[in-house]
Structure 1
Amino acid sequence: MPSVSQKGRSMPESPIRKLVPFAENAKKEGVAVIHLNIGQPDIKTPQIALDAVKNASLKVLEYSRTEGSETYRKKIAGYYAKHNIEVTANDIIVTTGGSEALSFAMGTIADAGDEVIIPEPFYANYNGFATASGVKVVPVVSKLEDNFSLPRIEDFEKLISPKTKAILICNPGNPTGYLYSKEEIQKLASIVKKHDLFLIADEVYREFTYDDKEHYSILQEEGLDNHAIIVDSVSKRYSMCGARIGFLVSKNKEVITIALKFGQARLSPPTYAQIASEAALETPESYFEEVKTEYVARRNLLIQELEKIDGVKVAKPKGAFYCIAQLPITNADHFAQWLLEDFRVNNETVMVAPAAGFYATEGLGKNQIRIAYVLDRDSLKRAVHILREALKNYKGQC
């Protein structure tokens, strides 16, 4: 029988989606599953974006430009200007989701065997993008007891080797919800300039910052133009995950030129999705204010309820809509599967994402889960109640 690639065998399984068959089986049995496992917001997509697709009068559904339509990219540049990020349409490539932007970034800056340093825990698919590009992820540990703040610069520097090409961060963070301060970004800027590295920032959750904290982009930092690459997306900003529109943004002209070659290989981003995403840029600021208010209320409720459970430790997120909770168990993978297969409260159960898949260091995160607080407050409260009862019943199991 023909053999598949070793690279394919090495592709990591999604910790977010691998439990789906168990959830589907539970649903077939009539069990209601509360999904805390995936960042699919229940917030309504702006009507202006949906109407733009509905009202489009295209005669031919053509390819768009490889880098995305010029009118859309100019409007994106205008969006960034409102956030004190000065770029032009020529600094932007529209991609098929933030995922493709990350893939393009990896392919652009690194060859097989090169290394990228990433604070862990991190978005699990970074492992997949790195594996597909033949890049080695070098993790630097951030800790729950420090609320997952930036590790010491010394911890980064001791990991830098001749093969190191970049430092990659998510700000605000998935899965931690941590928001890097201006001072932390400046520390990273200093180290990438000192060692002539790229700094890639996944900034898809830019709008979701709490407690009067402001997001500070790497492209707001002076002297970083040739080092900085932003990965962005409309998915969470406008609750448009299905649109699959993202951006790669850099003032480094060579980065844009090379990334565009990867874009040419896939021809173009989807036309209708660009129409929706361009219209979404007209979303009023009140939309984001209401969304942020709702997420703050959800976060506060979730943290408050989790902290009532004996043995549970939780980091308080400053942004995005995720948190990492440490449970009084030894194997979160087993616990998550057990919840779906065997545990019910009033014929309901909970689906969570085991956190080990968000780490690259073997053995870390085995007693942690990621929770996405993208559901209404009543559902969150019921979900935590189920977790509390589950932990009482689960004690003593491996």
Structure 2
Amino acid sequence: MPKISEKGQSMPQSPIRKLVPFAEAAYKKGKIVYHLNIGQPDIKTPEIAMDAVRVHSLDILSYTRSEGSEEYRKKIAKYYAKNSIDVNHDDIIVTTGGSEALLFAFGSIMDSDDEIIIPEPFYANYNGFSIASDVKVVPVISKFEDNFALPEIAEFEKLITPKTKAILICNPGNPTGYLYSKEEIKKLAEIAVKHDLFIIADEVYREFVYDDKEFYSIMQEESLKEHAIMIDSVSKRYSMCGARIGYLVSRNKEVIATALKFAQARLSPPTLAQIASEAALDTPQSYFDDVIEEYVERRNVLIEELEKIDGVKVAKPQGAFYCIAELPINNADKFAQWLLEEFDVDGETVMVAPAAGFYSTNNVGQNQVRLAYVLNKASLVKAVAILGKALKVYRD
């Protein structure tokens, strides 16, 4: 029998999606499942984006340019200008989701066996992207007790080798909700310039910043003009996860020219999704004001309810819509599966994402889960109540 590649065998399962078969089995039994496992907002997509697709006048659904339509990229550049980010439309490549932007970035700046330093826990698919690109992830652990703040710069410098090509951060963070301060970004900039490294920043949650905190982009840091690569997406900002439209942004012309070759190899990003995403750029600020207010309330409800449960600790997020909780258990993977297979309260149960999959260091985060507060407040209260009852009866 032909063999699967070692790379294919090494690809990790998604900690977010690997439990889907168990959730589907729960549905078939008639159970209601509260999904705290995945960042799929229940916020409505802006009508202006949906209308753009409904009333388009295309006769042929044709290719666009590999880097995305020029008109769309010019509007993206204007959006960034409003957010104090000075880029030209030629500094932007439209991609099929932020995931493709990350793959293009990895392929453009790293060769086989090169290394990338990532504070962990981190977005689980970074592990998959690194394996697909034959790149080694070198983790630097941010600590639960520090609310997942940036580790000391000395910890980064210990890990830099001749193979190190980049540092990757997610800001605000998935899965932690941590928001890097301006001072922390400047510290990263110093180390990048000193060691001639790229900084890749996944900034797809930039709109979701709470408690009057300030968001500071790596693209605002002048010292990083040749070093910064920003990853962005419409998925969370406009509740358009299914559009699969993202951006790779850099003022480094060589990075953009190289990434464009990868973009040409896959032809072009989806046309209708670009039409919807371009229209979404005209979404009024009031939409975001309402959404942010809603997420702050949901965060506060989730934290408050979790802190009522004996033995549960939770790190308070300052952005995005996730948090990491430590549970009084030994193995969150087994617990998450048990919730779906064996436990319910009056026919209702909860789906969580085991946090070990958000680390690359073995045996870390085994008792942690990532929770997404993308459900309405009443559902969050009910879901956490179910979780609390489950923890009273669960035995590892």
Distance 2:241 2:52 in 1: 17
Residue equivalent to 2:355: 355
Equivalences for residues 235-384 of structure 1 within 5 A: 235-384=235-384
Question: What do the CA deviations read for 1:63-116 (whole angstroms, capped 9, x no partner)?
Answer: 000000000000000000000000000000000000000000000110010000
3-state SS in 2 of match to 1:226: coil
SS in 2 for 1:278: helix
- Quote how far apart the aligned CAs of 1:364 are: 0.3
**Paired residue secondary structure (2:224):** coil
Pairwise CA distance, 1:252:
0.2
1:166 matched to 2:170? The reply is no
Measured after TM superposition, the shift of residue 219 of structure 1 is 0.6
Distance 2:156 2:305 in 1: 35
**In the alignment, is residue 385 of structure 1 matched against residue 385 of structure 2?**
yes
SS in 2 for 1:151: coil
Gaps in structure 2 of 5+ consecutive residues: none
Which residue does 2:27 correspond to in 1?
Answer: 27
Q: How does 1:1-398 map to 2 (within 5 A)?
A: 1-394=1-394, 397-398=395-396
Q: CA deviation at 1:346?
A: 1.4
Look up the SS of the partner of 1:154 in the other structure: helix
Aligned-residue offset at 1:222: 1.5
Q: CA deviation at 1:171?
A: 0.1
State how far apart, in whole Å, the 1-side matches of 2:268 and 2:111 are.
24
Q: Equivalents in 2 of 1:387, 1:278: separation in Å? A: 40
Distance 2:12 2:162 in 1: 26
Deviations 1:210-265 (A, max 9, x none): 00012100010111110000000000000000000000000000000000000001
Shift of 1:371: 0.1
SS in structure 1 of the partner of residue 269 of structure 2? coil
Residues of 1 paired with 2:144 and 2:347: CA distance? 33
Aligned letter for 1:199? I
What SS does the corresponding residue of 2:255 show, helix, strand or coil?
helix
d(CA) in 1 for partners of 2:223 and 2:208?
26
Percent of counterpart pairs with the same letter?
75
What is the alpha-carbon distance in structure 2 between the residues aligned to residue 257 and residue 248 of structure 1? Answer: 12
For 1:353, the aligned partner's letter is: A
Q: Separation in 1 of the partners of 2:368 and 2:55?
A: 46
Give the 3-state SS of the residue equivalent to 2:222 in structure 1.
coil
* AA aligned opposite 2:348: E
In the alignment, the residues of structure 2 paired with residue 226 and residue 262 of structure 1 have an alpha-carbon distance, to the nearest angstrom, of: 20
Deviation at 1:175, TM superposition (A): 0.1
* Counterpart residue identity of residue 11, structure 1: M
Post-superposition, which runs of at least 4 consecutive aligned residues in structure 1 deviate over 6 A? Answer: none
TM-score with structure 2 length normalisation?
1.00
Distance 2:319 2:260 in 1: 31
Q: CA deviation at 1:354?
A: 0.2
2-structure distance, mates of 1:146, 1:2: 48
Q: Per-residue displacement from partner, 1:293-322 (whole Å, max 9, x unpaired)?
A: 000000000001101111111000000000
Q: Distance in 2 between matches of 1:36 and 1:280?
A: 26
Give the Å deviation of 1:266.
Answer: 0.2
1:296 is matched by which residue type in structure 2? V
**Alpha-carbon separation, structure 2, partners of 1:28 and 1:304:** 32
TM-score, normalised via structure 1 length: 0.99
1:101-142 C-alpha deviation (Å, 9 max, x unpaired): 000000011001000000000000000000000000000000
Find the aligned partners of 1:375 and 1:228 in 2 and give their Cα distance. 34
Q: CA deviation at 1:4?
A: 1.4
Alignment: residue pair count:
396
Question: SS in structure 1 opposite 2:392?
Answer: helix
Secondary structure of the structure 2 residue equivalent to 1:4: coil
Looking at structure 2, the residues matched to 92 and 252 of structure 1 have their Cα atoms a distance apart, in angstroms, of: 11
Read off the aligned partner of 1:315 and give its amino acid letter: A
Q: Aligned partners of 2:346, 2:74: CA distance in 1, in Å?
A: 52
RMSD over aligned CA atoms reads 0.4
Q: In the aligned structure 2, how far is the partner of 1:387 from the partner of 1:234? A: 32
Q: Give the residue type in structure 2 aligned to 1:197.
A: L
One-letter identity of the residue aligned with 1:50:
M
Give CA-to-partner distance per residue, 1:157-198, whole Å, 9 cap, x none: 000000000000000000000000000000000000000000
Structure 1 unaligned regions, length at least 5:
none
Matched position secondary structure for 1:94: strand
Q: Could you tell me how far apart the structure 2 residues matched to 1:313 and 1:19 are?
A: 23
